[in-house]
Amino acid sequence: MNPTLTLATARRILSQLRHDPRTVVMLVLVPSLLMVLLRYVFNSPLIFSRVAPALLGVFPFLIMFLITSVTTLRERTTTTLERLMTLPIGKLDVLFGYALAFGSVAVVQVAVAAGISVTWLGLEVSGSLWTLLLIAVLDALLGMALGLFVSAFATSEFQAIQFMPLFVLPQILLCGLFVPRGDMGWLLNWLSNVMPLSYAVDALSHVTRSTTFDATLTRNLLIVAACAIAALILGAATLRRRTP
């Protein structure tokens, strides 16, 4: 681990993004656009306030999963990863570089979407906006770490894209967004209990409803953070210095 190399890697990834303005615009604006759409589809501030917080966590999770699985797959297939593995840089420097770069993109993404939701769309957040932002960034990092991990099992970008419905959609269906988790049958409830996104959505709902930072909220945040770290470690294990 070397902070200089982590920073250099993050800077490199952000420079790559900078050369792709269309992606930057989509990263920053698409979640906000969807929030606006959602607000007018429900046409009720009450229902919107119930669903919106969960979506503030789901969007960065989904988008970071997608862009990380594609960018890291590209690193693997264009052999830039092989070159990095011959150079004096640690795997963790590369991984944390990604986390830093995409984490900061997620901060901007969530800040814009949350800002628009609160000021324009009438979302009422009882708890701290900082906590909301923190949970959303943790979600983004979780999505990033999972994307990095599954990119090891894809041999083309076509396959990588298809891991999205496989790894992400079930989590969205079961996270309590559509049906409260308590109302699910035992099997679905159990499944929703082992999926990290459920805890993020629980935490987000809590922050919207209540001003207290209680033990359950702390526990939920720790679970999301632990899952992100576990996925990063699994992701690190898929970066090999030697390959067949």
Question: Per CB under 8 A, does 4 bind other proteins?
Answer: yes
Give the whole-angstrom CA distance, residue 195 versus residue 41.
28
Q: Measured from the CB atom, is 16 or 156 closer to other proteins?
A: 16
**What's the closest the beta carbon of residue 22 comes to other proteins, in angstroms?**
12
User: 3-class SS at 55?
Assistant: helix
For position 84 contacting other proteins by CB under 8 A, the verdict is yes
Query: Residue 235: enclosing H or E segment and its boundaries?
Result: helix 215-237
Closest distance to other proteins from the beta carbon of 239 (Å): 12
Does 242 participate in binding other proteins (rule CB under 8 A)?
Answer: yes
Of 3, 19, 119, 215, which one interacts with other proteins (CB under 8 A)? 19
Name the residue nearer to other proteins (CB basis): 22 or 182.
22
Q: Return the number of the residue (22 or 211) whose C-beta is nearest other proteins.
A: 22
180 counts as binding other proteins under rule CB under 8 A: no
Distances (CA, A) of 92 to 6, 66, 103, 162: 8, 21, 15, 27
Best CA proximity match to 137, nearest among 203, 70, 214: 203
Instruction: Give dist(CA 90, CA 170) in Å, integer.
Output: 34
CB of 62 to other proteins, least distance (A): 22
Number of residues in contact with other proteins under rule CB under 8 A: 25
- For the bound state, the minimum distance from the C-beta of residue 131 to other proteins, rounded and expressed in Å, comes to 35
For position 25 contacting other proteins by CB under 8 A, the verdict is: no
Taking residue 18's Cβ as centre, other Cβ atoms within 10 Å add up to: 10
Query: What are the CA-CA distances from residue 150 to residues 9, 14, 50, 57, 83 (Å)?
Result: 21, 22, 32, 20, 21
Binding site for other proteins (CB under 8 A): 4-5, 8-9, 11-12, 15-16, 19-20, 78-80, 82-89, 241-244
